[in-house]
Amino acid sequence: MIALLGESPGASTSVAIMLDVLKYNFADHLEAWEPKIKEMIPSFGESLAENTDLLQEVDRESSRFLRL
């Protein structure tokens, strides 16, 4: 069981840590879980440096969600 704890400074690293825990401890399930993970984190498994369209989409959606 993985719990994400909000609030800085942990908030900026908690998702990356959770994804690493899934990758290393549940590797045999990751393929089945990937569609749901990508629904929650569209950039999962993608390089934003190489995919500028996805980077712009993530930036737009983040700004909309955060009301920036």
Residue 1 has pLDDT above 70, yes or no: no
Task: List the one residue out of 18, 16, 13 whose CA is nearest residue 3.
Answer: 18
pLDDT tens digit string along 18-54? 899 899 999 999 999 999 999 999 999 899 999 999 9
User: pLDDT tier at 4 (50, 70, 90 boundaries)?
Assistant: low
Residue 60 has pLDDT above 80, yes or no: yes
Structure tokens at 31: 């393929």
Q: What are the boundaries of each domain within the chain? A: 11-66
Residue 5 has pLDDT above 70, yes or no: no
Structure tokens at 30: 């990751």
Residue 13 has pLDDT above 60, yes or no: yes
State the alpha helices, DSSP H only, in 1-68. Answer: 11-25, 27-40, 52-66
